[in-house]
Amino acid sequence: MGAGATILGLSGPRLTRAERDFFAAADPWAFILFARNLEDPQQIRWLTTELRECVGREAPIFIDQEGGRVARLRAPVWRDWLPALEQVKLSGRNAVPAMRLRYRIIAHELRALGIDGNCAPVVDLVQPDTHEILKNRCYGNDVVKVSEIAGAVAEGLVTGGVLPVIKHIPGHGRATGDSHLELPVVETKEKALRVSDFLAFQSVAGLPLAMTAHVVYQDIDPDNPATTSHKMIEIIRSKIGFDGLLMTDDLSMQALTGSFADRTRASLDAGCDTVLHCNGDMAEMAPIVEAAGRLTGKAADRAETALGWRRSPDDVDIAALDAEFQSLMTHQAG
């Protein structure tokens, strides 16, 4: 039987005895770390080792290290980066190689800590009214350019030994609300979405992992956000063509309603493979774990395929990559 159909967070920088016992029983497929879990390199390496010991295997450990505002690891120990949208604009025609290098360097920092998954690239197309929670994390609004950059971001991570997670499929850019606090509704017609937002994700549909958007697409399913919508996940699978492991965005976000068990069942029934819960609250995680059950069937196959993307990092000179990145940013044009 496969691992649990869950990706779970924990409460602090060290595992409590209760968490250790809970994770050993729950056997989540993967873990996710946040700033509250991160103090210094030695502590993080010990924590990632402990988490894997809990489940008795090399479970993936994810983080949101986009750079810019969404960065769990920060200076002075780790590099700080410009918001992605700002860097893309500054680097001009060098945006694709610059973003590839940026995420290769980020991958190097993550692997040194025992972290082997990053929730990037962000493939959402920015709009004039994109909510501020997302806006400067995007790469632009031109489908072709965003597609090229997203592919480069994923390449930088993969060659650095880190699994990429595309987000937020099938597109969060048109949302004017913050799904952490409310349920955004996008009224754009499906025909327009297919040649814009959905098309951007189509270009990276061969990647191993993706995270859903807690967004209602009014013209397709007015009753459910993509995370819990069978219609939307059918579009993700058949129209966008993504057949990798599909995880929910965080189940504790206020865009979703109902009990945590209900949210879990609705997500998996709609076609998600695994559910994500981030805040480390065991009282919330317990019903999620029970409702999620184990990875089986296609979901288990997709999880195994995703793990097959893990590789040892290419041997590189990080100082040289840093210098190359700086050169691209200095000599940008276009």
Q: Give the helix/strand (H/E) hosting 41.
A: helix 41-55
Q: How many C-beta atoms surround the C-beta of residue 317 within 10 A?
A: 9
Whether a cis peptide bond, with omega within 30° of 0, leads into 180 is: no
- Which residues are catalytically annotated? 180, 249
Q: Given this model, what pLDDT does residue 159 score?
A: 97
Residue 244 · residue 209 · CB < 8 Å: yes
**Tokens at 224, concatenated:** 């459910």
Q: How many C-beta atoms surround the C-beta of residue 90 within 10 A?
A: 14
Q: Give the helix/strand (H/E) hosting 258.
A: none
What CATH class is the domain 4-330?
Answer: alpha beta
Amino acid at 12: G
Q: Given this model, what pLDDT does residue 334 score?
A: 45
Among 212, 240, 239, smallest CA distance to 226 is for 212
Q: Give the helix/strand (H/E) hosting 62.
A: strand 61-63
How far apart (Å, rounded) are the C-alpha atoms in residues 50 and 334?
Answer: 48
Residue 100 · residue 152 · CB < 8 Å: yes
Q: Are strands 209-212 and 70-71 parallel, antiparallel or unpaired?
A: unpaired
How far apart (Å, rounded) are the C-alpha atoms in residues 114 and 106?
Answer: 13
> pTM, whole model, 2 decimals?
0.96
Pick out the chain residues at pLDDT < 70.
Answer: 1, 331-334
Query: Sign of the C-alpha dihedral, residues 116, 130, 247, 46?
Result: positive
- Where do the domains of the chain lie? 4-330
Q: At what angle do helices 282-292 and 17-26 cross, to 10 degrees?
A: 10
Burial 37-49, CB ≥16 within 10 A → b, else e: bbeeeeebeebbe
**Tokens at 20, concatenated:** 């250790």
Q: Given this model, what pLDDT does residue 331 score?
A: 64
How far apart (Å, rounded) are the C-alpha atoms in residues 99 and 103?
Answer: 6
Give residue-wise pLDDT tens across range 142-169.
999 999 999 999 999 999 999 999 999 9
Instruction: Give φ, ψ of 117 to 5 degrees.
Output: -145, 140
Q: Given this model, what pLDDT does residue 180 score?
A: 81
How far apart (Å, rounded) are the C-alpha atoms in residues 150 and 165?
Answer: 11
Region of 199 please: left (phi>0), alpha (psi -120 to 50) or beta.
alpha
- The DSSP-derived string for 84-152 is HHHHHHHHBTTHHHHHHHHHHHHHHHHHTTT--EE---B-PPP-TT--TTTGGGS--S-HHHHHHHHHH
